[in-house]
Structures are given as structure tokens and as C-alpha cells.
A = this chain, B = another copy of it.
Amino acid sequence: MIFARVIGTVVAAQKDENLNGKKLLLCKEVDHQGKPLSTYHVAVDAVQAGEGNMVLLSYGSSARMTDLTRNAPIDAVIMAIVDDVHVQTVKPSKKATA
């Protein structure tokens, strides 16, 4: 999954019928600290995310694994709203020699 921030909405009247009743949100990819990256994504909202929220996006067939999105022709879903990201000071364990 990747981090993104909800920054807008997409309006589309003419669309596949399986998209009816689904909110299409414009998301800007961010890093784990919430800093904006350059990529934009359009995703269906499955967790009632609001604008400004930092969220997690799931891509591909996994995007259809929510009650809302099953069988819809969509390839990206917002499946969690991020509250906090805890980063530890990295001290590698388990060796990986080469």
C-alpha cells in the first residue's frame, strides 16, 4: 500500500453502472511523513475519508475486496485513514550477507 492525501473529488456522470454511488477521490501521493510527492491517483473511497486526510491506497484486484467495490471496474481503493506512523531508529537484525 502507499500513502496519499485526499485533495479533491472527481465528478463523472457518464460511467460504468458499477460505479454508481461510489465516491471518486483525487489523492496526491505522500511519503510516510505526509510530505507530498508528485504523483496523483483517483481512488474509490471505502472508509469515508475526508479531504485533507492521509490515507492508504490499495491497488489492483485488491481494490475490489471491500463490500463497496466488489466487481466494480476500479483499480484503486482507499481502505484506511492513517492516524499515526511510528518510525523506529533502524537497527538491522538478521544478517543478509552477500
Residues of A within 8 A of B (CB): 1-3, 5, 7-16, 18-19, 24, 26, 28, 31-34, 36, 40-43, 46-54, 56, 58-66, 69, 71-77, 79-88, 90-98
Contact = CB atoms under 8 A, between A and B. Distances in A.
Contacts of A95: 83-84
15 contacts: A3-B42, A7-B90, A8-B88, A8-B98, A10-B86, A14-B47, A14-B49, A16-B47, A18-B66, A58-B75, A60-B60, A62-B64, A73-B77, A82-B94, A83-B96
Nearest to A73: B65
B62 A63 contact: yes
Given A71-B65, A93-B53, A42 B11 contact: no
